[in-house]
Amino acid sequence: MGKMAAVVGSVATLATEPGEDAFRKLFRFYRQSRPGTADLGGVIDFSAAHTARGTGPNAHKVVRSQLSVSSVSEHDAHRAGLQPVSKWQAYGLEGYPGFIFIPNPFLPGYQWHWVKQCLKLYSQKPNVCNLDKHMTREETQDLWEQSKEFLRYKEVNKRRPRSLLEKLRWVTLGYHYNWDNKKYSADHYTPFPSDLAFLSEQVAAACGFQGFRAEAGILNYYRLDSTLGIHVDKSELDHSKPLLSFSFGQSAIFLLGGLKRDEAPTAMFMHSGDIMVMSGFSRLLNHAVPRVLPNPEGESLPHCLDTPLPAVLPRDSVIEPCSVEDWQVCASYLKTARVNMTVRQVLATDQDFPLEPMEKKKGDITTEGFCHLDDQNSPLKRARIDADS
């Protein structure tokens, strides 16, 4: 109770801003929090190995979640780089039906593939990214090739300008989300990556959602000073299907609130390899990321990323080899960064996009009104932290 009292006391001493709701106040509290102090005492840590209920004063909210072990074969789990579902730990939270948290179910070394895909492959054209607003297609054609030497020697030259990969904030896949009108459309689509679709299908099936189709993805690239504003993911036309979230790199604090912002959110850590599933009642809840946490050991990787990807992979695996040179670039990037993949099914089976008047259509996806990721040093600092996406 001592830790919780300290946290409540710290929040209480934070002056409320005019018109500030309960969610925003806790968002601001954790954004300003000091790692290693009582500030983080109220954050649930699902990965705590010594207890099946996690740690933190809110651990009493943690309940076990049942998975559909028979829905995913051990072979298919291995093909996606996952442990057998029977070995996964899965948790929920009282008061949040449909929310499932799975602490790192990846096989040792297999996170390497997904990190490399986010940085090297998924960032390539024809996928859409935040840099498209200010640069030509030719300039953003291959961010990896333009950035890898900068990142490989980052430790040697710390005063160098940031590489393009370090300026990357988001990438969209499949049906590309339009940040202007907050909609998806049939005429702005590129093929969804087959490996990520397969991974998503296995995780969804294990959580009871057989037949899930990965149709859209938003990848967020966080620096240590980045945040994810308070929002609800409601643009998909079918809310009966889950939202899947995969985290890699440095840890972060995730806030899960209610249907309205006057409900105080629950805080939890997201570590590298962790998966979250928001479905049912929890599918349309407010949520945010107020803080990415620097590694307490300095600029280093989480220990779960120390193990290399095995040299020999299953013949039909969707996982591809990762060279030492490629991982050097990925590791250099992740020492001060976090990557998150969210995957959604946009349309119900046999559903089509509604027809819209031609004058309402916009040809380009831009970042006007963009609020998803915010850097503390950005010219748009905190300008749109509340806007729904």
Residue 118 DSSP one-character state = I
- Of the candidates 35, 68, 376, 23, which has an alpha carbon nearest to the alpha carbon of residue 227? 376
Handedness of CA 35, 41, 47, 49 (dihedral sign): positive
Q: 60 among the known binding-site residues?
A: no
Q: Which residues contact 380 (CB under 8 A, 6 or more apart)?
A: 374
Check if the beta carbon of residue 216 is closer than 8 Å to that of residue 236.
Answer: yes
Helix count (H) and strand count (E) of the chain? Answer: 8, 14
Q: For residue 230, which of 255, 197, 248, 251 has the smallest C-alpha distance?
A: 255
Q: What's the rounded Cα separation, in Å, for the pair 311 and 36?
A: 38
Tell me if 27 sits within 8 A of 255, measured CB to CB.
yes
Question: DSSP letters along 121-138, please?
Answer: ITTSTTSEEGGGGTS-TT
- To the question of whether residue 231 is assigned a binding role by annotation, the answer is yes
Whole-number Å distance between alpha carbons of 64 and 204 = 17
In sequence order, what DSSP letters do the residues of 281-336 get, joined into one string? GGGG--EEEEEEPPPTTSS---GGGSSPPPSS--TT-S-----HHHHHHHHHHHTT
Phi-psi region of 192 (alpha: psi -120 to 50; beta: other; left: phi over 0): beta
Annotated binding site for Fe cation: 231, 233, 287
Annotated binding site: 231, 233, 287
